[in-house]
Structure 1
Amino acid sequence: MTVPKRIALCLIGVLVVIMAAAVPPAAAADTVRVIVISGEIDSSQTALVQRGLEEAEKNQDKAVVVSISTLGGRVDSALKIRDMLQAASVPTIAYIPSRAWSAGALIALSCRHIIMAPGSSIGAAEPIPNTEKNIAALKSEFSATSANMGHNPRVAEAMVDKTNGFPGYAEPGQILALSDVQARALNVAEGTAGSVEEALRLFSLGDASVYYETKSWKDIFIGILQNPYVRMIFIALILAALFAEIKMAGMGIGIVTAILLGGMLVFSGDESLANDLKIIAAFIGSLVFIALELASPGVGVFGVVGVILLFGSLFYMLGATFDAVYILAGGTIIAVILFYCIGRRLPQSRLLAKIALTTRSTGEKGYSAQQDKSKYLYQRGRTITILRPSGAVRIGKERIDAVSNGSFIDRDVEVRVVKVEGTRVVVEPVPKRL
């Protein structure tokens, strides 16, 4: 091949490379994440929604669809989900395939858009128990949520409070629940769709790649750990483990157990990783200060700082709310009872001996407890020793230390107790009969 041909081929190759580089890359396909809420609303559903929203924001999804099929559940869990949906940076769409009642209605109203399947319903959110306080509180939550997300707050209020009903849909005394047709008529729902894919086409997202997020074992586990009663038990076990470590110092089992349980509580919460690490650092720091106090008992400063850090870190592990105070108090009481029941069976360490009084004052060591001797008043006995003025007398089968009432009393003389002052027993001779 001649040189000109080689040059020509090289130029053609360079031109092809340049043209290929000039062609814009294919646009990334739109993605949509579907979070499937099915069954009772509880802490596991909260964990699912949190995980789904984090994935959606991380992957820059075009939208999040929350598929809601529930008869209701825990209000506190629904409120957490509501807060997360309102704060989401990704557009949210509620899709109701069957029923979004009670807590499910609040979750649906927390989304920017609502689409319902034919034959589905939304509403019926009267709280249980339906006290005036509960109704007023939940009614305000429904109203504020609807107003914030662009829905009719009056409709939302009637789903909670049946006092006034809703004209044309619920008589006074009837709670409001809407079918898909009624929800569209009141502009609660924007449309009807038989599936998630059909709902996405209403928002020009029919060609988007759809990823489903369903409840996993991790969500269930986190949900269990977020249960307030389970958290109370965890607090009790943490404190009991620390008590046990103090008694069995050097074993390390109590410290390791406390750190593991504390870590599970921290990472099951809603805090960021940075805050979680701060709480763990404070918790471990409290253990260090308590260990320093035990190693040098009597200082006091290390112990005070350690206890403050311990209960402070536990308080933040529980979310730093009023509920956290009750959980912490209940857990502490359970820990004391638990340790009282099983603590005596644990081996005792030399460390505990430094900070606890373990020596017994027994009769074999020459100690005796002060006794109430008033029962001997006016009783009779006989002297065992000479009283000048102190000595010993026998009353019944008991030997008693006594003093005479000023006079000398010989051995084996019948006497009578005339005065008792604390442990001092005063006797006098019984006059002889003629």
Structure 2
Amino acid sequence: MRISGPIAYIILYAALYAAFGVASPFWPKFFESKALSSQQIGLILAAALSMRLVAGPLVGLLADYMGSLRLVLATCIAVAAGAAVTFIWADAFWLFLAIALIQAAALAPTTSIADALSVNSAKPQIAGRPFEYGRIRGSASAAFVLGTLTVGQLISPADLEPIIWLNMVLLMISAGATALVPAVAIQSGPPPSARPVLVRVLELLKLPRFRILILVSALVYGSHAMHDAFAVIRWSDAGISTSSISILWSEAVAAEVIVFFLVGPALLDRFGARGAAALAAAAGIIRWSIAGVTTSVLLLSIIQPLHGLTFALLHLACMRMMGALVPATLSATAQALYAFGAGFVTAALTLLSGVLYARYGGGAFVPMAVLCGFALPLAWFGFADRRHRSMGS
């Protein structure tokens, strides 16, 4: 039985992001249950982040070099699933660190390669009726939340192993789902393997609009670093209850899903990638400016849904622009560079956030608004979707 492209991608994305949802929020607690110290847990997480930054672009290049995105994606997911299971038998810090690095390297390119496949399949020039990428990505966000909620009912402080097994099963399902998604049609021309890796990277970086896309996404996504690291601490210190904090956090995720499914595609069709990216940057200016001066639950509940714009809408705009700008033969490399830019800036700003928050408290959110302020004109003058390709790239 042949499964249609959109359904196949929903299965792939839902299983992959559900696997993230059941594990990523709980890895620190799992490591703690294995008698690792806070310093050791921090080292594992930091090392895994560094590994993802390195492995993502390299494996993306390999996928384009081989011309087989689905095979590389399936292999990476399967290796990550195998690594997850080995956590059960680890009994020393260095074993946990080694396994975490292997899994981080395997998982790093998965979302980028999946996006490369789906964005190219959604292009109108591909045979068959194109589908809306936003709805595919929205199913992923919903699956992440569902995975987190589900595993929360299965684990206890004395038994965290369901995290491992559920993560492994979902990863294997997503690995199998790669066989269901359609192969990307690549136009005839010189095989990508005939060109050195550096040449192919330079091909992308020579595109002014691609460089702007990387810069804008890094600035706006990176501006979330202060919120992700210190918002809960700031709210807790202000006396906001844990239940209210949970609701505030859930608001942001719910807004992300709604934008991916409904609002985002409509805004993209109405304003194009340029208008959508500029709106996302403007939303970041508003969001972080208000977050820096108030801990009112009412005001926070109003600005938290802006996450749907500052993350989901910008991601949709970037994917729309990527689909119009990047050749299929370089799609995995482009997605990996996109993820690397955002990840590198986010990591750097996360480190800086600790210093800023210790010195300025809520005022440390203001520099995050400034970053979005820099991104706004870049997005307006530098972004263009397929309707504006004649403007130059």
TM-score by shorter chain over 0.5:
no
TM-score band, normalised by the shorter chain? under 0.3
Higher relative contact order (CA 8 A, sep 6+): 2
Which protein has the bigger strand share?
Answer: 1
- Normalised by the size of structure 1, how large is the TM-score? 0.21
**Structure with greater Cα Rg:** 1
Which protein has the bigger helix share?
Answer: 2
- Normalised by the size of structure 2, how large is the TM-score? 0.22
